[in-house]
Structure formats: structure tokens, C-alpha cells
């Protein structure tokens, strides 16, 4: 599968049209926007709701969310396999209402045990749905321009998160049970809205058990967990996903505890990152057209992530203005690296997969990302936060090793995929 974009299929965005002209992509964009607004509402208030309204301690909330995150790591593969069997759209029509019910369930939590159980259920549903959606996109969108379309979806999602976070500021200001529960209700409504939009998509064709694709197993169909190259690529890209913990955990703590920069720099860094993703993710996907170019994009992005970490390390030295300058410069370089590693990762996850098992393969790749998101805060804390500039250099080294390792790992993969893909059933 290639990801080059033809002129006729190119999504037209800000400045030409608010939404892409192609009906299927337009509906996917609306789904992404609605889902992201709901996520922004919930993520912004959830910790304060759990602690101030439900009466849980910060430590118990952190423990519960960690346990839930671990459970979520193992959700992608079985959900992906189920999607390959029954159809991604059909499965998502069930998962959406279940996610809505799980979010509303937080309003009725009265004990730590109930909180952990519900958090685990909600996270498994969320991680599983993410894998199924990725498989749906892989099957529904034409190969040409798919990476560019995913870049558009990510840009829209980040814009939706900003909108949702801004709306949640009202509940934060009120700091009341009623205000927080209103955010939960709106988030649940977003899941139902996405489900309604999903119902308008054409059903994906999934062969019944024993049918053509199932028979293809004997003819060479691969399984994601048995595909060593895919697992290695997943692991290397998961290392690059530690960049999220750098932004969300490492930098805020580092700015406040390890530098002379004003605390407002935390907000400035977040604004820089969000704006760059919204404005330039689509542009960053240009040139990522196949497996080799995707691996090179990840390698370049990883080196930029490493350079960003060195910028953060430099903020330890000097007065407030110098520290703030170094942090913002580091965030700029870091964000550019994030754009490249994201675009490269989409192509690697799709083009290295067996087209007859997209759900399972996407489940494996997203489980690698989920694992990085679970252990990321611990890794970043034990390195950069605890050891300052030396720790930032260790993180820079991890990025600088993992990214450039991808091109040699995938060398020759394009030929292999072409051979396998030639015998795969056509995408609807």
C-alpha cells in the first residue's frame, strides 16, 4: 500500500473548505472532531472530579489509572481480531454506547474498588475502540492519500481537544459536583454522537468464518503476534511515543522544579505543541509515501526529539528568560519531531500489516503505543525529573537510538508487502 495523494483526493482544509470534499472522509473528520471535544471535556476535569467530588486521594487515583492503563494495553489485539471477524463498523456501533455508559458510571462511584473496576472497563473499551477505528480507516479509505487523511484527522482531533478543554474551564471554575457531572454527560453524548455518525458509514466487508479470508490463513496469512519484524517496528516506535510523557509529565515538573522559568511556561509549551499539530500535521505527512520514506521520517523525527531534550536540559542553567527561551525552543523542535514520527508511524503500521488482518495488526501497534503511555511517566520521572540535565541526555539517547534503527529494520519490507498484498482480498 502506498500513501501518495492524488490531486483529486487531497483533503481541502483551512482557507479552502472547512471540511474535505470527499463524503467518507468528511464523515470521519466529523467523528474525530466530536470524539475529541468529548475527550477534552473529560480529560481536563477527571482528576479533580475524582479527588474533590468522589473523595479519592491523589495517590489512589494515580494507582487506579495506572492499573487501568495496564489493562488497556492488552485490549487492542483481541478487539482487533474481533473486528476482523465481525466487521469494524459493527463492533464500533456496540462499543460507542458502552463507552458512554462507562463515563456516566463515574458519577455513581462510591469506593476505590468501584473506581478501579470502572476505570479498567472504560480504558479497555477506549483502547479497544481506538484499534478498531484504526482498522476501519485502513479498510475504508483508499490507499492513495491515507496517511495524509490520517494527518487531517489528527489535526482535527487536536483542535477538538483544545475546544473541549476550553469548555471544561467553566466546570473547573465552578468546582462543583454538578459541574463535573455535566462534563461527564457531555462526554457520554459525544460517544453517542460519534455512533450516530458511524451508522451512516457503509458496512465494511468482512468474510464470514470459513470464507475466503479465513481460508487464506493456510495460504500464508500472517498473524501480528507472529510477525517479528512488525513487533520490532512496534517496539521501536513505542520508544518514540515516550515523547508524550515528556510533554505531559516531564516538562511541567521540570519547568516548576528544575528551572528558573515562570510556571506560565507550562501553558506556553502546550500552546506551541497544539498549534503546530493542528496547523502542520497534514504538511508533515507529505513525502511519506511508502515504508522506506516512513522509516526515514521516523528517524529524522527521533533526532529532533533528541534535540528537544537537549534544549530542555539547557534550561537548567541561566536566568528565567534564558530558561524560558530554551524550553520554548526545545518544545518547537520536539513538536516538529512529533509530527514526523506520527506520520511515519501511520505508514509503517499500515504498510507492514497483512491487509487481511488490519484489525489485529492495528491492535498490536496501538498496544505498543499504549504501553509507552503507561510506563512513560515513570521513565521520564526517573530520568529527567530526578536527574536533571543528565536524565534529559539519557532520554535524548533513547530517541537517537530508536529512530535511526527503523530504516535498516524495514529494509526490503516494501517488496515483501507487495508480494503478500497481491494475494490479499481487495479493500471495499
Angle at 401 between CA 398 and CA 402, to 5 degrees: 80
Between CA 331 and CA 273 the distance in angstroms is 7
Tell me the per-residue pLDDT of 412-424, one tens digit each, with 9 for 90 and over: 765 444 333 333 3
Judge whether 359 and 84 are in contact, CB under 8 Å. yes
Tell me the per-residue pLDDT of 169-201, one tens digit each, with 9 for 90 and over: 888 888 889 999 999 999 999 999 999 999 888
Tell me the per-residue pLDDT of 357-403, one tens digit each, with 9 for 90 and over: 888 999 899 999 999 999 999 999 999 999 999 999 999 999 999 99
Q: In terms of C-beta density within 10 A (0-12 exposed, 13-18 middle, 19 or more buried), how is residue 275 classed?
A: middle
Is 426's pLDDT higher than 70? no
Q: Can you give 40-96 as a three-state secondary structure string?
A: HHHHHHHHHHHHHHCCCCHHHHHHHHHHHHHHHHCCHHHHHHHHHHHCHHHHHHHHH
Cell of 52: 474533590
DSSP state for residue 219 in the 8-state scheme: T
Between CA 73 and CA 369 the distance in angstroms is 8
Judge whether 217 and 424 are in contact, CB under 8 Å. no
Between CA 115 and CA 105 the distance in angstroms is 9
Between CA 190 and CA 100 the distance in angstroms is 8
Tell me the per-residue pLDDT of 103-157, one tens digit each, with 9 for 90 and over: 999 999 999 999 999 999 999 999 999 989 988 888 887 767 777 888 888 889 8
Close Cβ partners of 111 (under 8 Å, ≥ 6 residues apart): none
Is 20's pLDDT higher than 80? no
Between CA 39 and CA 191 the distance in angstroms is 9
Distances in Å between the Cα of 321 and the Cα atoms of 256, 266, 328 are: 14, 14, 11
Close Cβ partners of 227 (under 8 Å, ≥ 6 residues apart): 352, 354, 361
Domains in the chain, start-ordered, CATH in brackets? Answer: 19-206 (1.20.1250.20), 224-422 (1.20.1250.20)
Tell me the per-residue pLDDT of 235-250, one tens digit each, with 9 for 90 and over: 999 999 999 999 988 9
Distances in Å between the Cα of 126 and the Cα atoms of 52, 79, 135 are: 24, 11, 14
Residue 5 Rama label (left phi>0; alpha psi -120 to 50; beta): beta
For residues 298-318, give the mean pLDDT.
Answer: 95
Is 48's pLDDT higher than 80? yes
* CA dihedral of residues 350, 352, 354, 358 (deg, nearest 10): -30
The residue written with cell numbers 521516523 in the block is 298
pLDDT at residue 72, as a whole number: 92
pTM of the model: 0.78
Is 219's pLDDT higher than 50? no
The DSSP secondary structure of 283-342, one letter per residue, reads HHTTT--SHHHHHHHHHHHHHHHHHHHHHHHHTTSS-HHHHHHHHHHHHHHHHHHHHHHH
Is 221's pLDDT higher than 70? no
Residue 87: CA count within 13 A, CB half-sphere: 16
Between CA 272 and CA 259 the distance in angstroms is 19
pLDDT at residue 192, as a whole number: 96
For residue 234, the surrounding DSSP H or E stretch is helix 228-240
Amino acid at each position: 500500500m502506498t500513501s501518495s495523494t492524488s490531486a483529486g483526493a487531497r483533503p481541502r482544509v483551512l482557507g479552502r473548505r472547512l471540511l474535505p470534499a470527499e463524503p467518507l472522509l468528511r464523515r470521519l473528520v466529523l467523528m474525530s472532531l466530536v470524539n475529541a471535544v468529548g475527550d477534552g471535556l473529560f480529560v481536563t476535569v477527571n482528576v479533580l472530579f475524582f479527588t474533590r467530588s468522589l473523595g479519592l486521594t491523589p495517590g489512589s487515583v494515580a494507582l487506579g489509572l495506572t492499573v487501568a492503563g495496564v489493562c488497556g494495553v492488552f485490549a487492542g489485539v483481541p478487539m482487533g481480531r474481533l473486528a476482523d471477524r465481525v466487521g469494524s463498523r459493527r463492533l464500533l456501533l456496540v462499543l460507542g454506547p458502552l463507552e458512554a455508559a462507562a463515563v456516566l458510571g463515574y458519577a455513581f462511584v462510591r469506593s476505590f474498588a468501584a473506581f478501579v473496576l470502572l476505570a479498567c472497563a472504560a480504558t479497555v473499551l477506549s483502547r479497544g475502540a481506538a484499534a478498531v477505528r484504526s482498522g476501519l480507516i485502513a479498510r475504508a479509505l483508499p490507499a492513495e492519500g491515507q496517511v495524509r487523511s490520517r494527518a487531517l484527522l489528527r489535526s482535527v482531533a487536536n483542535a477538538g481537544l483544545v475546544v473541549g478543554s476550553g469548555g471544561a474551564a467553566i466546570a473547573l471554575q465552578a468546582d462543583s459536583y454538578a459541574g463535573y457531572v455535566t462534563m461527564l454527560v457531555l462526554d457520554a453524548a459525544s460517544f453517542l454522537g460519534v455512533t450516530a455518525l458511524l451508522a451512516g458509514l457503509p458496512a465494511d466487508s468482512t468474510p464470514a468464518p470459513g470464507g475466503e479470508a479465513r481460508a487464506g490463513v493456510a495460504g500464508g496469512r500472517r498473524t501480528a503476534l507472529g510477525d517479528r519484524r512488525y513487533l520490532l517496528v512496534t517496539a521501536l516506535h513505542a520508544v518514540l511515543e515516550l515523547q508524550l510523557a515528556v510533554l505531559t509529565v516531564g516538562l511541567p515538573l521540570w519547568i516548576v522544579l528544575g528551572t528558573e522559568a515562570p510556571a506560565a511556561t507550562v501553558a506556553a509549551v502546550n500552546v506551541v505543541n497544539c498549534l503546530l499539530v493542528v496547523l502542520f500535521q497534514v504538511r508533515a505527512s507529505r513525502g511519506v509515501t511508502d515504508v522506506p520514506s516512513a522509516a526515514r521520517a521516523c528517524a529524522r523525527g527521533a533526532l529532533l526529539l533528541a534535540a528537544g531534550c537537549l534544549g530542555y536540559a539547557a534550561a537548567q542553567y541561566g536566568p528565567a528568560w534564558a530558561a524560558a527561551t530554551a524550553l520554548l525552543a526545545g518544545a518547537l523542535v520536539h513538536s516538529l519531531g512529533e509530527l514526523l514520527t506520527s506520520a511515519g508511524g501511520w505508514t509503517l503500521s499500515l504498510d507492514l500489516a497483512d491487509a487481511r488482518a488490519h484489525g489485529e495488526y492495528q491492535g498490536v501497534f496501538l498496544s505498543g503505543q499504549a504501553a509507552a503511555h503507561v510506563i512513560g511517566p515513570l521513565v521520564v520521572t526517573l530520568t529527567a525529573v530526578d536527574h536533571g540535565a543528565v536524565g534529559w541526555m539519557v532520554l535524548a539517547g533513547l530517541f537517537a537510538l530508536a529512530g535511526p534503527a527503523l530504516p535498516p529494520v524495514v529494509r526490503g519490507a516494501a517488496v515483501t508487502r507487495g508480494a503478500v498484498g497481491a494475494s490479499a482480498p481487495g479493500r471495499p
